[in-house]
Amino acid sequence: MIWEIEDGPRAVEGLDERGRPRPEYAAALGLVSAPIGRRVLATFAEVLFVTILQLPLLIGALPALISLAGSATPIDDLFGRGDAVWIIVFAGVPYALTTVFIIVQLVLLGRRGVTLGKALTGLRAVNVATLERPKFWRGAVVRYLVLSASFLLPLIGPLLVIALSPLFDPQRRRRGWPDLAAAMWIVDIKKGLNPYDAKRMRIARKTVATDLKDEKASLPSLATPVSAPTFDVYIPVARNRGGVVGAPRERTGAASAGDVEYAGPPAPIQASPFAGPADPYAQPAPLPSRGPQAPVVPVEPARPAPEPAASVLPASPPPAAAPSAASASAPVPAGHPVSETFSVASETLLPQGETWSPPSLMEGEREASLRSAPAPVAASLVIDTGETVTLGTEGAVIGRSPRTTGEDAAAAPIAVPDTTMSVSKTHVALRWRDGSLVAVDLGSTNGSAVLRGGAESELTPGVAMPLRSGDTLRFGDRHATISIA
């Protein structure tokens, strides 16, 4: 057996540099302040119960005791009555029951932070600094003394201490004067986390201590810098069977939306005798400078004599193709938003008897569909140990010794060691559905949940729950952060 000895006092989480509790830490854990209405209702329920215990005294014994108040010998007169035994019973039993009830209330408040009224209204009391059970003397006894003193002023005292004093809390946590004196905080377990659920409280503290916001490292941006040059005119310079290959032209000055300038036809490309229908290694001619352009006349470059088995096609298209060239050079109205493009067939060295044909419509549609296909979504899992696991397209199965079967047969198993055995062998699965990442509990023993914005949502076994980037997936006592690009 190994004994651990603490060297100093235990560090209390959630305190500032002056040792004062931070409300934002409690809010990050999921604790919610109790509403004033239910606090008043809880006190009223306890007072009503004490009144019911006192009914025998008020109905059976009090009238007789009032009649003996003016007697010179009240004790002799009391025992001289025939109903003296009943008067003593009606006076003593309610007093004993009320004393036992108050002692039980103090013990429950100091040990479990609950009383009869708080149990009925869904409230709990915790120490404001440690967020654990309040101490017996400072928490329970002092608070009841302040509450009892408020009833010395009928109606006004309870109204001021119980109903109005929580409105003056400087931290806006609805802590009244009895709570301030007892260093106590009343929380709502119906709308927030139950601080006496040790398992959930431990997971919440680990989640906050991990500081999830700092684990997501900032990645370099792939966006074009603002100061980079912009391109707005597309000028095709060559053509092959795959389509038009073009080069963007850099904008050097300010221009309106319809400012489109014709740069003239490009210079002919020197065809290689070893190339096929189009030479992919041919270098395009330099683009002309911006500004008024003079007519450019294509010049036939010098090249070696062709082989007898091949013939060189003319540099310019035959007269039958003139209408397409004319339509390509038709003037564009001023201010037209569509950029002017044109296609010029490059000189191609083809075998004798073969002619060039444009790409088919089906091939163009296929390439367009490939370009418009969405990129796969990338996701990663940051486990509480600091390990980062990248999720593939087939998903993953998490557990102590996960088995991938059925729908998750192709998923990647992620083994998470857990000495407390809170994680099942095959605990939870991460799957891709319609481009979104979902989590499915696989019937685990301790269950799974998703923490988002301080709220926790339990996973129903076999039911998928969508995940977002930044969510925390809890499986047993372990947790991991989801990051979706």
pLDDT in tens, 171-197: 778 888 888 888 899 999 999 999 999
Q: Give the model's pLDDT for residue 316.
A: 47
More confident residue, 297 or 137: 137
The DSSP annotation for 44-93 comes to HHHHHHHHHHTHHIIIIIHHHHHHTTT-SSHHHHHHHSTTHHHHHHHHHH
H/E run at residue 94: helix 84-112
Residue 203 lies in a domain: no
Instruction: Work out the average pLDDT over 217-233.
Output: 51
pLDDT interval class at 221 (50, 70, 90): low
Enclosing H/E stretch for 143: helix 142-150
Rounded mean pLDDT of the chain? Answer: 74
- Tell me the C-alpha distance between 34 and 26, whole Å: 13
Report, as an integer, the average pLDDT of 373-383.
Answer: 71
Is 363 part of any domain? no
Return the closest-CA partner of residue 479 out of 106, 210, 293: 210
Query: Could you tell me if residue 461 is inside a domain?
Result: yes
pLDDT band at 259 (very low <50, low <70, confident <90, very high): very low
Residue 50 lies in a domain: yes
Q: What is the pLDDT of residue 319?
A: 46
| CA geometry: angle 248, 252, 254, nearest 5 deg | 110
Task: Give how many domains the chain has, as a whole number.
Answer: 2
Question: Token digits for 420?
Answer: 């407390």
Look at residues 165, 196, 227 and tell me which one is the last residue of a structural domain: 196
More confident residue, 342 or 450: 450
Q: Is residue 214 part of a domain?
A: no
Rounded to an integer, the average pLDDT of 150-176 is: 83
Average pLDDT over residues 219-235: 51
pLDDT of residue 348: 44
Say if 390 falls within a structural domain.
yes
Region of poorest pLDDT, from 120-124, 125-129, 344-348: 344-348
Closest CA to 404 of 381, 428, 434, 382: 428
Instruction: Indicate the residue among 196, 216, 237 that finishes a domain.
Output: 196
| 396 vs 340 pLDDT, higher one | 396
pLDDT value at residue 325:
40
How high is the pLDDT of residue 352?
Answer: 54
Q: What is the pLDDT of residue 70?
A: 75
- Domain edge (last residue) among 196, 229, 255: 196
Most confident segment among 101-115, 209-223, 348-362: 101-115
Q: What percentage of the chain has pLDDT greater than the value 90?
A: 27
User: Does 399 reside within a domain?
Assistant: yes
Checking if the pLDDT of 123 tops 90, the result is yes
CB–CB of 416/383 below 8 Å?
A: yes
Q: How confident is the model at residue 88 (pLDDT cuts 50, 70, 90)?
A: confident
Does some domain include residue 32? yes
Whether the model clears a pTM of 0.85, i.e. scores above it, the answer is no
- CA–CA gap between residue 416 and residue 474 (Å, rounded): 12
Whether residue 168 is predicted with pLDDT greater than 80 in this model: the reply is: yes
pLDDT reading at 235 higher than 70: no
Q: Does the pLDDT of residue 65 top 50, yes or no? A: yes
Q: What pLDDT shows up at residue 267?
A: 53
Residue 172 domain boundaries? 23-196
pLDDT tops 70 at residue 247: no
Judge whether residue 390 has pLDDT over 70: yes
CATH (domain of 394): 2.60.200.20
